Each structure stands twice: as structure tokens, then as C-alpha cells.
A = this chain, B = another copy of it.
């Protein structure tokens, strides 16, 4: 861990910084080769620090994901459980719609299987779980809705509105209220 060499740490930081820009500019399938060039390192170095595109994306989004997890923890104590959940979902939607590639990363997360506990969607799911439980307990959430369902829906909205990010929040509103609630 800390035994990592100083230059390695330096390169790690440089690559990550460039990767953030590139992913923001070109989405989840930004060119790793290009990231290496811009960062002034060899392509092998990028691959060493981040084995595979997934690893790089997770690192890029890690901070924001952590922020969302923290936000969820704060909201756990809110008086209105339903409002807390909705606010968190809104924050997630805004982020997923604005940060190109994050939604792709989330939908790909399911592939690795349950042993991979470190992936982004697992972190998020664990984080909302308490909010979901509280909202469900107070009747603020349909009974058969799981945390995973909500993440999937938000991810889907973000993916489908890739070219119209402004619509994302509105669509979330529709999903929450119901497109055609039973009368």
C-alpha cells in the first residue's frame, strides 16, 4: 500500500486527472491510449495502474460515488423518510446524467458477480438501503420496490437521456409519481 513508489503514486494521480477530463469529454469509451498520451506516460503504465477500463472508471467516479454514499448516510436521520429518499435519488440522477460514462459503468457492474464487493453499484445499493427501508416502513414507497430497482431505473434514465440530459430530472419525477397510477 504505502510501499508504493513515489513515481508510481505521481503517475497514478496524473493518469487519474487526465482520465477524468477524457471521460467527461468522450464518455465511458474514452481512449485509454489517448489518456496515456495526454498524461505523458506509456500506455502500459495506464494499464498497470488500472487493469481494464472498469477499474479506471471506478477510480474516476470513486470520489463522487463516495460523496453520494456520504449524503445517503446524512439523510438517514431526516424526519421525512420519503423526502429524504427522493432527494437522494434526485442527486444520483443529476450526477448520472451529467457525468458521461458513469451510467455505463454502473450497468456493467453487474457482470463481475457477487464476489466483487467493491463495485460502484454495490456501494450505492448499500448506501440507499437504509433510506429505502425507512421510506417503505412509513408507507412512502411501494412495498415491492428494492434499492436495486431504484438504482436500475435511475441508471436507465441516465442512459436513455444521454443526448438530452436536461430531461433526466423530469423523467425521474414521472417514475416516482407513476406514469399511469391505478385509479
Contact = CB atoms under 8 A, between A and B. Distances in A.
How many of these chains are in the complex? Answer: 2
Interface in A133-183: 135, 139-142, 144-145, 149-150, 152-153, 155-164, 167, 170-171, 174-183
Contacts of A156: 153, 155-161, 171
A149 B129 CA distance: 28
Contacts of A179: 141-142, 145, 149-150, 153, 175-176, 178
A144 B80 CA distance: 27
A86 interface: yes
Given A177-B178, A180-B86, A155 B160 contact: yes
A18 interface: no
Given A152-B161, A159-B160, A178 B142 contact: yes
Given A153-B171, A156-B156, A171-B152, A107 B162 contact: yes
A110 interface: yes
* Binding site secondary structure of chain A: helix
A82 interface: yes
A110 B157 contact: no
Contacts of A160: 103, 107, 152-153, 155-156, 159
The 10 A-B residue pairs with the shortest CB-CB distance in the complex, in nearest-first order: A178-B178, A156-B156, A156-B160, A159-B159, A155-B160, A110-B163, A152-B160, A178-B181, A181-B181, A141-B180
Interface of A: 82, 85-86, 103, 107, 110-111, 135, 139-142, 144-145, 149-150, 152-153, 155-164, 167, 170-171, 174-183
